[in-house]
């Protein structure tokens, strides 16, 4: 498996997160990456060992998704976490995008909610987001929320095949 560096920034170019993942493959939904347990994630404040996670980076969408497996032994539910962001730019072994604050989360098979609306509101003024960016981020958030609630692809279990690939490796 090939190592891929994933780097996200905020609108002003400041680092949001930076880590290296393993590329599992590509399908109609996009590129599937695996972040093994204990992989280091760098933020502006701290570098920390992450839990295992499967990252989907679609082409030409305004979101990326984390599929985080549950761990029965420690009581952790599985989680789906979708970041609203600019379309990912892929150059060689580097994927970059701008995090736009809004997130959609589903814990286990439970409730789906939007996170960080307050952060989006603060940052849209702080960074002076263009009106088109605000509209696109809000529209994308609504579309992702509906897709996750409706278990539409790729949020309806399509990740399980890639999770099996990752855990066999």
Q: What is the CATH number of the domain that holds 65?
A: 2.40.380.10
Give me the DSSP letters along 14-59.
-EEEEEEEEEEEEETTEEEEEE-TT-EEE-SS-EEEPPPEEEEE-S
Number of domains in the chain: 1
Instruction: Give the range of the structural domain holding residue 127, as residue numbers without chain letter.
Output: 2-168
Each of the 169 residues of the chain gets a pLDDT tens digit; together they read 899 999 999 999 999 999 999 999 999 999 999 999 999 999 999 999 998 999 999 999 999 999 998 765 555 568 899 999 999 999 999 999 999 999 999 988 788 999 999 999 999 999 999 999 999 999 999 999 999 999 999 999 999 999 999 988 6
- Predicted TM-score (pTM) of the model is 0.93
- What is the rounded distance in angstroms from the CA atom of residue 165 to the CA atom of residue 169? 7
* Nearest CA-CA partner of 136 in 66, 58, 84, 60: 84
């Amino acid at each position: 498996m090939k190592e891929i560096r994933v780097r996200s920034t905020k609108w002003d170019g400041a680092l949001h997160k930076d880590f290296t993942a393993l590329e599992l493959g590509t399908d109609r939904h996009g590129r599937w990456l695996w972040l093994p347990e204990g992989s280091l994630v760098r933020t502006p404040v701290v570098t920390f060992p992450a839990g295992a996670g499967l990252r989907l980076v679609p082409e030409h969408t305004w979101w990326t998704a984390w599929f985080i497996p549950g761990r029965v032994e420690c009581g952790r539910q599985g989680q789906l976490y979708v970041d609203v962001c600019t379309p990912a730019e892929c150059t060689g072994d580097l994927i970059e995008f701008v995090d736009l604050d809004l997130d959609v989360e589903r814990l286990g098979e439970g409730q789906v909610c939007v996170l960080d609306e307050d952060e989006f509101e603060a940052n849209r003024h702080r960074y002076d987001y263009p009106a088109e960016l605000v509209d696109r981020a809000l529209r994308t958030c609504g579309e992702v929320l509906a897709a996750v609630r409706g278990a539409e692809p790729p949020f309806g279990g399509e990740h399980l095949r890639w999770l099996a690939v990752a855990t066999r490796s």
